[in-house]
Amino acid sequence: TDQIMNLMYIQNLYFSNQFASAKEALNDVDINQLSEDLLLYKIKIDIKLKNIEDAISTIDYFSNKFPNSDLMPYVIYEKKLIDNTNNE
């Protein structure tokens, strides 16, 4: 239930555009303890905050830790967003 509460908290911060607060809350948790959902939000938040290197690092971590995740298409989409932004 802690994971669910954390996810709901991060989602609320994300959807209320409180990206810096969400980033702080995620940084308080060891990356190895983050669920697939929270890792995806970490990627999305880093992109919103223009922390592109952090986002790429988390994408790589996610891809290695959860290669068969149902969320992988979303992670790939976020990576394409970064690639498209960097190529403009």
**Residue 3: its pLDDT value, please?**
79
**Residue 51: its pLDDT value, please?**
96
Query: Which regions in the chain score pLDDT beneath 70?
Result: 1
- Max alpha carbon distance in the chain (Å)? 42
Structural tokens at position 73: 């298409």
Q: CA neighbours within 13 Å on the CB side: how many for 33?
A: 11
**Residue 83: its pLDDT value, please?**
92
Residues 6+ apart with CB under 8 A from 29: 6, 38
**Residue 44: its pLDDT value, please?**
97
**Residue 1: its pLDDT value, please?**
59
